[in-house]
Chains A and B, each alone.
Chain A
């Protein structure tokens, strides 16, 4: 290959694949299960590549080979007919052996991926059009709390998520940690995984669930166990009371302007259940189920007009004066 062509190809490939180890990639495993799956995937990939290349080579030789002696279509060579018959049969048997082998590889991988650990940390996740409700459940009820759209887990410890749906079917998928599992109306599914390394892993709803299926993401934040414990203790507490008058005004407006009809903020009078829990919303990394990174600006943009950012989502646009909006944002920001 001329050098120029090669450089161009390499360039093209790097340009295209620059982001391959992106934010939610099955090729960039950070968990025990995703690691196993990638391993299985590579075995399949290599065998598939070999089979395809073999077929292409045979096809190529078939095309380039010298022509048959006779040009009468029915004037066939007995030896070739019989030989090729045996060869086809042999290849058929080889295919049987390969697919049985692959089935075995697949099953072995499946066993590892779906292995159960009784001591797993248990979370319950309920899918909603188009956001995630997350329950941390513990033996004592005052250790249990609800949050949304963001899951924090300890590294190195198995996590079990119980999956349910409040409306249509969704699918829980964090490619860097493990494969997906559906959240099905009227059925309880579960999934276990273990994060190997600390980090923020993006997840996204994978089953088409209506208008805003594209914007039903979430973040899984894996923390070292002690840090996770601190977070959990903090998250378990009720919301901060606002420290300044603007914040207080925001808290009142949150009730007065109807937000509290849908949103719960523990420790306040806001107890709505239709939308995500906002008790510690200030600690989250994103707004509106992973649609925007969280900042005062994005929070404001969202509250000012949720239908612009995520058309069709179930939070209506609330009529707010701009000073009211500023107060609400200020309040929500403090909910850390």
Chain B
């Protein structure tokens, strides 16, 4: 080891105060200019872009939802043609699931996890930048296709044989399948980063039982991503192969089977919904502790519940296939396993209720969203228990009852916590508070609008309305409830408009937030708002699960890291004992170039198999460029 070089190095103990901040800022900041911005590997910059992009997709998916609600507001409306309607509901479902719900949770994790565990950057920052570009390009690819009228129209789970070449001879199904590949690559990359960040980059002393609950939730989520997404990768790849080079995976006349698709899809698809929900519970735990003004009761219970949900979620996929003619006894077992997941979900709810009982709740907007979450999510969870019953599901499967169920859990379980999270962490991310009075309006409109929009759908499903129908006749007796639902949907949309207005207004005029405006307990609040490029002048040392409540006077920190190159502190897995001062990568344009090369490869390969040949060399070259050492001291240490 080149000890000599180390000795001459400038260390942070020889600087202090403003001098240290300025020096670290110089090393860690994103280069200026457009090129600099494209090269950024700062997890906060990437995370912010990720969050904004995901919300842009929420807006787009939401607009599609509104179009559907207009079409369904009355019987036999001709506002949308059947072809447009089918594209729109597919785009709505796919956008919401793959381009909004999963990415937005990962985006928050990319931003918050490194801050919460007290480190300077995420693990593999270049992979992180690459992940964002892949997500962006994949999303744009899907939406541009849609605007060119080749948007997918086979539903968000694209069942074969409808999505096979024979029944969808256009490129629409290929677009869907390849969009999946893009978003999976992005999601898998983030998952690995999160796992390594949590395993190795925790501040000294942050033992396993001192990790904030949001970080725990994201860790479990990351594992779910790693073990669920390969299944959809195999599925979407084999679908494209069937469509492009005539493989026979799903062709029942040559030994393939349509149900293979359903198994592969739902083996991913079921964990997918918990990939969306678990981060939401993490947000709830954080917000609740801060506003109930005490730690969440049952910290170990919550962690065990998260892990239990994670494991159980791989054993339920068949409950999406109860009416495909599977053996009855087997189906019955999946009923039981599906319902069992109510137990860990319930335990979490009980812990939160107990926390609220003992707390001194401060009813600010984030807490309102958490309370709304409890009311709505429990309805959605209970309707989940209903659809988990085989006989009940034979009636309600593929009806609006299921549509009601999953909007209750998705919006109640994930979007409400997310909106709470926006109000809660906005000051940290931007340095300004969101308006509290607009926040209250936002909450109440959202709560009322949501329930008016989606509660009637339960009844609609029971009185026979199937999902994915572009219209219905007046004599079915569905039009009043549908009208009500559409009205509710518009109220709900209005609440989002208020949020958007609040964000735009507060970015410029909002009250300045100090470091810790809510008087919260976790490390992200120990640095300035917004945090400097290097996050912390000195890496904190953690001695308590709620470090800022325990040491409210002064923060214990470590010294001895380099002050002239990017360095992060690696600690041991369980005890978080410092082990290594590892270099952290510099900004680089290669992740972007690699993402462009990969995009060309992916899009090319839905048109010709030869793309595999001419598409690989650029990818290989950009990857080598990415990993080739630059000769700077970081790389050569």
Contacts and interface: CB of A to CB of B under 8 A. Distances in A.
Chains A and B in contact, CB within 8 Å: yes
B463 A20 contact: yes
Interface stretch (B19-27, B212-220, B387-395): B387-395
Given A88-B298, A114-B328, A168 B550 contact: no
A312 B470 contact: no
Given A61-B357, A171-B323, A180 B477 contact: no
A56 B325 contact: no
Contacts of B371: 59, 63
Contacts of B354: 84, 87-88
Given A55-B349, A180-B395, A103 B83 contact: no
A169 B159 contact: yes
A23 B86 contact: no
A59 B375 contact: yes
B621 interface: no
Contacts of A88: 297-298, 301, 347, 350-351, 354
Interface in A76-123: 76-77, 80-81, 84-85, 87-88, 91-92, 95-96, 99-100, 102-103, 105-107, 109-110, 112-114
B628 interface: no
A91 B361 CA distance: 23
B464 A24 contact: yes
B328 A26 contact: no
Given A48-B385, A73-B295, A213-B469, A37 B360 contact: no
Contacts of B521: 73
B161 A92 contact: no
Nearest to B261: A169
B294 A48 contact: no
A40 B391 contact: yes
A67 B82 CA distance: 57
A181 B331 CA distance: 14
A65 B357 contact: yes
Q: Is the interface of B mostly helix, strand, loop or mixed?
A: helix
Interface in B360-400: 360-361, 371, 374-375, 378-379, 382-383, 385-386, 388-399
A311 B81 contact: yes
Contacts of A37: 391-392, 394-395
Nearest to B390: A110
Contacts of B86: 210-211
B500 interface: no
A178 B391 CA distance: 9
A51 B467 CA distance: 28
A102 B478 contact: no
Contact of A56 (B375, B392, B464): B375
Interface in A270-298: none
Interface stretch (B234-242, B251-259, B561-569): B251-259
A40 B470 contact: no
Interface stretch (B40-48, B109-117, B337-345): B337-345
A48 B380 CA distance: 10
A55 B378 contact: yes
A189 interface: yes
Given A36-B391, A107-B332, A312-B82, A20 B162 contact: no
A210 B353 CA distance: 46
A81 B297 contact: yes
Interface in B23-58: none
Contacts of A85: 297-298, 301
Contact of A214 (B356, B459, B469, B546): B469
A103 to B, nearest CB: 4
Contacts of B293: 71, 73
Contacts of A81: 297
Given A103-B336, A180-B323, A311-B81, A68 B257 contact: no
A91 B345 CA distance: 12
A185 B258 contact: yes
Interface string B235-279: 000000000000000001100011100000000000000000000
A22 B468 contact: no
Contact of B470 (A24, A167, A206, A214): A214
A324 interface: no
Contact of A168 (B162, B351, B471): B162
Given A48-B385, A55-B374, A110-B332, A25 B83 contact: no
A1 interface: no
Contacts of A312: 82-83
A27 interface: yes
A308 to B, nearest CB: 11
B395 A19 contact: no
A44 interface: yes
User: Which of A202, A205, A211 has the largest count of B CB atoms less than 10 A from its CB?
Assistant: A211
A133 B294 CA distance: 65
Contact of B391 (A109, A129, A190, A202): A109
B394 A25 contact: no
Contact of B468 (A15, A76, A114, A208): A208
A99 B323 contact: no
Contacts of B385: 44, 48, 99, 102
Contact of B332 (A102, A106, A206): A106
Nearest to B252: A186
Contact of B475 (A23, A171, A173, A175): A23
A52 interface: yes
Contacts of B462: 25-27, 41
Interface in A20-71: 20, 22-27, 34, 36-37, 40-41, 44-45, 48, 51-52, 55-56, 58-59, 61-63, 65, 67-68, 71
Contacts of B227: none
Contact of A179 (B323, B358, B480): B323
A10 B408 CA distance: 26
A36 B392 CA distance: 10
Interface in A185-201: 185-187, 189-190
Given A16-B484, A51-B382, A63-B361, A181 B395 contact: no
Contacts of A65: 357
B353 A58 contact: yes
A305 interface: no
Contacts of A103: 332, 335-336, 339
A199 to B, nearest CB: 15
Contact of A113 (B259, B294, B388, B391): B391
A143 to B, nearest CB: 28
Contacts of B294: 68, 73-74, 76
B386 A44 contact: yes
A147 interface: no
Contact of B480 (A16, A34, A56, A178): A16
A182 B353 contact: no
A305 to B, nearest CB: 15
Contact of B386 (A48, A58, A95, A175): A48
A212 interface: yes
Contacts of B393: 179
A137 interface: no
Contact of B350 (A20, A91, A102): A91
B353 A55 contact: yes
A67 B363 CA distance: 13
B325 A186 contact: no
A184 interface: yes
B382 A48 contact: yes
Given A20-B459, A113-B391, 19 more contacts: A40-B389, A44-B392, A55-B378, A58-B357, A59-B353, A74-B549, A76-B295, A80-B358, A88-B350, A92-B343, A103-B336, A103-B339, A106-B332, A109-B391, A113-B394, A189-B324, A208-B162, A213-B469, A214-B472
27 contacts: A16-B480, A22-B476, A34-B395, A44-B386, A44-B389, A55-B349, A55-B353, A55-B374, A63-B356, A63-B371, A74-B549, A88-B298, A88-B351, A92-B343, A95-B342, A99-B336, A103-B332, A109-B389, A110-B335, A110-B389, A187-B252, A187-B257, A189-B324, A189-B325, A210-B167, A211-B82, A214-B472
For the complex of A and B, the 6 pairs showing the least CB-CB separation, nearest first, are A19-B477, A179-B394, A186-B252, A189-B325, A24-B464, A214-B469
